[in-house]
Amino acid sequence: MFNLASPLKSQPLLFPLTSKSTIIMTSSNPSPPPITVFASTTPDYDRAKAVKQFDETKHGVKGLVDSGVQKLPPFFVHPPETLSDLKPRPGSESEVPTVDFSAVETSRAAVVDQIRRAASTIGFFQVINHGIPPELLERTVAAMKKFHEQPAEERARVYRREMGTGVSYISNVDLYNSKAASWRDTLQIRMGPIAADPEEIPEVCREEVRAWDKEAVRVGELVIGLLSEGLGLGAEKLPEMGLVQGRVMVGHYYPPCPEPDLTVGLTSHADPGALTVVLQDHVGGLQVRSKDGWVDVKPVPGALVFNIGDLLQIISNEEYKSADHRVLANCSKDPRVSIAIFFNPGEREKTFGPLPELTSAEKPPLYRNFTFNEFMTRFFKKELDGKSLTNFFRQ
């Protein structure tokens, strides 16, 4: 249905800077094209045109970095209200609990309680001893990094904003309607209920992402069951709703940023689905908002990060809380790689709302019923700007 993009011919591109200078940058790397940069104060600057030209290179933020950009194009610069709140509270990372799954067999009730408390407060927790071989986690991160560090022409072959083939490489899913772009690129792969054709998945990471998805589903189903028990519903209630059947995997790549205080890696948002699992590398930068401010989700070797999504908040009638989170722009010398799988219902026309078992005269349903298709359509009509999705479905 969609043709693969052909390699691009080298050509000058217009990207405005915040300085008054006009800079022409070239790179010893032959893959990305040379970049001509015009100041935002000149009459040549057109934000919409600059964004479009950036997108049409199909080289992403990595292409800018490889071309030697030392200042951010203005459409990456975020407004003061975002930039003024980029620091977490010192020592706050201890607020994200780490749950040891080796205790599930011997102390299941204690594990359920740990997860229930995390899901009903901060909405985030890390899981260790989950049974996924460490070498698979390491290979998956390395393979995703290898994809993003291929020559630009190779990445461009799958650069598209449609998911018609089930696979797309893009920079910023909300590039054209966000207040400012974020400093990252993403490989998206549909894993269920109808998975992308394996031949469409870039060969450089094909084997690893498929193996990672299989293991993540196993652990995700266990987590969903424990969350179900935490609601007093029994271990089968939430799994029977098919909440892990619809899955999209995203492999984010956050290159080192020349001006990390002026942008972000991922804007503050809550995930729309039921549950998200994240495999992150050692670099860090993921933060979650708590009632007292932003909290670092410090990388734990071998751990998986789980967070509650908007749909599970609604299903639980707010017994569980979806979590606003973000990623800071990368100030490290190393790129940051994270791989998330969004767990969603497999049936788009299935109706969801607060479970009757969790409502009463004392606690009536807080949300109306809706189909999952309506829910996701509403999500993609807005920016990634926090809680407006759940607010839209309130009674």
- Per-residue pLDDT tens digits of the chain, which is 395 residues long: 323 333 333 333 333 333 333 333 333 344 444 444 334 445 567 899 999 999 999 999 999 999 999 999 999 999 999 999 887 766 666 789 999 999 999 999 999 999 999 999 999 999 999 999 999 999 999 999 999 999 999 999 999 999 889 999 999 999 998 889 999 999 999 999 999 999 999 999 999 999 999 999 999 999 999 999 999 999 999 999 999 999 999 999 999 999 999 999 999 999 999 999 999 999 999 999 998 899 999 999 999 999 999 999 999 999 999 989 999 999 999 999 999 999 999 998 999 999 999 999 999 999 999 999 999 888 877 654 545 688 889 98
CA-to-CA distance for 253 and 207, rounded, in angstroms?
A: 19
Beta strands (DSSP E) in the chain are 23-25, 35-37, 98-100, 124-128, 167-170, 185-192, 246-254, 264-269, 275-280, 286-290, 293-296, 304-308, 325-328, 336-344, 351-352, 370-371
Looking at residue 43, what is its pLDDT? 59
Distance CA 374, CA 340 (A): 23
Q: What pLDDT score was predicted for residue 382?
A: 62
- C-alpha torsion angle, residues 72, 75, 79, 83 (rounded to 10): -30
Question: What is the three-class DSSP state of 76?
Answer: helix
Name 303's Cβ contacts closer than 8 Å, sequence gap at least 6.
Answer: 98, 126, 127, 128
Cis peptide before 335 (omega within 30 of 0): no
Residue 290 in 3-state DSSP? strand
Residue 13 contacts residue 54 (beta carbons within 8 Å): yes
Is the sign of the CA dihedral 130, 332, 40, 50 positive or negative?
Answer: negative
Distance CA 275, CA 309 (A): 5
| pLDDT at site 45 | 73
DSSP class of 216: H
- pLDDT for 104 equals 95
Nearest to 184 by CA among 64, 38, 33: 64
Q: Which of left, alpha, beta for 58 (phi over 0: left; psi -120 to 50: alpha)?
A: left
pLDDT on residue 17: 34
Q: In one letter, which amino acid is 31?
A: S
CB-CB neighbours of 303 under 10 Å: 21
Is-contact 241 283, C-beta < 8 A?
no
Instruction: Identify the pLDDT of residue 233.
Output: 96
CATH class of 50-392: mainly beta
Measured between alpha carbons, how far is residue 54 from residues 157, 170, 218, 281 in Å?
Answer: 16, 11, 39, 27
DSSP H or E segment with residue 34: none
The reported pLDDT for the residue numbered 247 is 97
With contact defined as beta carbons under 8 Å apart, do 223 and 127 qualify? yes
Note whether 332 and 283 are within 8 A (CB): yes
Strand order of the β-sheet with 264-269 is: 264-269, 325-328, 286-290, 293-296
Q: How far lies 17's CA from each of 55, 114, 227, 328, in Å?
A: 17, 48, 48, 21
CA distance 288 to 308: 11
Q: Is the pTM of this model over 0.85?
A: yes
